[in-house]
Each structure stands twice: as C-alpha cells, then as structure tokens.
Amino acid sequence: MEIFLQQVVSGLATGGIYGSVALALVMIYQATDVVNFAQGEMAMFSTYLAWSMLNAGVPYWAAFFATLAVAFVCGVVIERVVIRPVENAPVLTIVIVCIGLLVILNSVAGWIYSYIQKPFPSPFPEKPITIGNVFFGAHDLGALGVTLLVLLFLYVFFRYTTLGLAMRAAAQNPVSSRLCGIRVGWMLALGWGLAALVGAVAGLMIAPIVFLDPTMMSGILIYAFASATLGGFTSPGGAVLGGLLVGVIENLVGTYVKFIGTELKLTVALAMILVVLLVRPSGLFGRVAVHRV
C-alpha cells in the first residue's frame, strides 16, 4: 500500500510536468493548428539558462522567475521572427520550421553547454516528507504544487482577464477578432510566450529528476504528446488531466508489471497514443464542435 501511494504521488508529480508541456502544446495548437515540436527544446534551453544563473550564484527563486521572464520574451520573439513569415504557409511548412527550431536549439545547447549530463538543484528539501508511515519525495510534492499554481494562474488569466479573453477569441475566430479591434498577430505571439513560460516551468521541475542535458526533453515531449492525445488536443484542461493520468499509469505499470520496469516505460506512452487514436481520436475530453445554424 505504501509503495502504491508513493508511486501515485510521484506519478502525479511527473504527470503534472507532462501535463504542463501538453498544455503548452495545446495552447499553440488551438491558436494556430500547429503542433510545436520545438516546445521541449525551448524548455530545455530555458533550464540551461537557469543553470547558468544558479552557477553564477543567483538565488534559486530569483533565477526561477528571471528564467520565466526570459522564456516568455524568447517565445514571443520566436513567433514574431521565425513563425510569422510562414504563418499562412501550409501546415507542413510550419511543422518543418518547428523541427528546424528543435534541431537548432538542441545543437546550440550542446555546443554551449556540452552534452554531458549535469545535476540540477531542486528548490525543495532533500528530506522526504512523512505522512503516516508513507514517505513522499519533497521534490515530487513541490513540483506538483508549482505545476498546479501555474495552471491556476493560467486558468484565472484566460478565464477572467480581458487580455486572456482576447487571446481565446483570436485563436477561435481571427476575422471577427480583428473586427473587435484585437491585434490577432500579437495575441498569437503572446500565446507562444505563455507556452514557452509554461514549458520553462516544466523544464525547471523535471531537470532535478532526469538530470540536465540537451536531450532531456525528448522523452518528456513524447509523454506530453501522449497526455495531449489522451486528454484531447482541443481541451486545455483535458491535456493537464491527461498528463496526470499518463504520469500515474507510467509509474504504476513500471512498478507492478515486471517485464516493463523502467526500460520500457516510454513504450507505454507510445502505446497509449496508439490506443487513444484508434479508440477515441478526439481524446477523453476533446470537443466535437457543436454548431447551430
């Protein structure tokens, strides 16, 4: 029973991280119909940035928020400079641009920081937290808390602020948005900025678990795809829930199904993508648009 609870909590912690990356993917997908394959590498690069700051002696939380700010600005700049020129190009073109971005970010990170794995600090104490007679990793609980805070922030932003509303409007109906005076291009750029910020949080929270290296997000991105597919690419809340589910399932299957262990965990994610696409292509919470005309 203790092992079960521990595995569920640590599954929720990594699941929350998959869920945030999935959310970043869904945000961009909803606004532009494009899956940003570079999302993971953008997060990885942000994490290296934080590592540089920490190495220079900046306190953790200062580095944390500075990284988020830089990631946001970089997200906006990438949209304006790299994506904007191909905005009206066929989807395949934009996908290729995203993959190009992935390769470039990956290589530049390797070139600057080398491909050697680096330990990355957690802001949370090393001592596990004991509830009853079950031990929970402090980082697991902390990461889960941070992820939930970010999600709450996004929810409030999109639900209750005028800017958030304008961003949702721009994603749904660009023509009508312009007629309302919304600068649609900037809304898309802001979306990229926010997605980059969420990705950066995910990078910072996962790095203490998987260690920092230029390919650290490639596996996470596949889990994020599994989460977004499971929850539905049209549902931000679904993507997050999908993430939590994927995290927990991954952990439980790895613990209780002997032949899978840690080596075949990633295969579980891929199998989940396949099953969801075969059985319920819109995902658990994906919306089938309802129109009355």
| Tally of CB atoms within 10 A around 148 | 15
User: Cα separations (Å) of 29 from 8, 11, 54?
Assistant: 29, 26, 33
Closest CA to 82 of 54, 63, 106, 102: 102
Cβ of residue 89: shortest distance to another protein, in angstroms? 21
Considering only 150, 166, 209, 253, the residue that binds another protein (CB under 8 A) is: 166
Smallest gap from Cβ 79 to another protein, in A, equals 18
Nearer to another protein, 177 or 227 (CB): 177
Pick the closer one to another protein by CB: 127 or 291: 291
Structure tokens at 272: 């989940």
Nearest-approach distance from CB 169 to another protein, in angstroms: 5
Q: Which is nearer to another protein, 147 or 177 (CB)?
A: 177
Q: % helix / strand / coil in the chain, to the nearest 5?
A: 75, 5, 25
Nearer of residues 15 and 164 to another protein, judged by Cβ: 164
Q: Residue 158 CB, nearest distance to another protein (Å)?
A: 11
Rounded to 5 degrees, what angle do the CA atoms 8, 13, 17 make? 135
Q: Identify the residue whose tokens are 């932003």.
A: 157
Q: What's the min distance (Å) between Cβ of 225 and another protein?
A: 24
Q: Is 39 in the site for another protein (CB under 8 A)?
A: no
Minimum CB–partner distance for residue 290 and another protein (Å): 6
Considering the rule CB under 8 A, would residue 27 count as an interface residue with another protein? no
Q: Report the C-alpha gap between 248 and 221 in whole angstroms.
A: 16
- Token digits for 63? 């580095």
Selected range binding another protein among 62-70, 106-114, 217-225, 285-293, rule: CB under 8 A: 285-293
Smallest distance, another protein to C-beta of residue 184, A: 8
Count the neighbouring beta carbons within 10 Å of the beta carbon of residue 250: 24
Q: Does 288 bind another protein (CB under 8 A)?
A: no
Q: Give the DSSP letter of residue 118.
A: B
Footprint of another protein on residues 169-188 (CB under 8 A)?
Answer: 169, 172-173, 175-183
| Tokens found for residue 169 | 């409007």
Residues contacting another protein: total by CB under 8 A: 21
Q: Is 87 in the site for another protein (CB under 8 A)?
A: no
Q: Does 237 bind another protein (CB under 8 A)?
A: no
Any contact of residue 290 with another protein (CB under 8 A)? yes
DSSP for 145-189? HHHHHHHHHHHHHHHH-HHHHHHHHHHH-HHHHHHTT--HHHHHH
Sequence-distant (6+) residues with CB within 8 A of 290 are none
Q: Which residues bind another protein (CB under 8 A)?
A: 162, 165-166, 168-169, 172-173, 175-183, 289-293
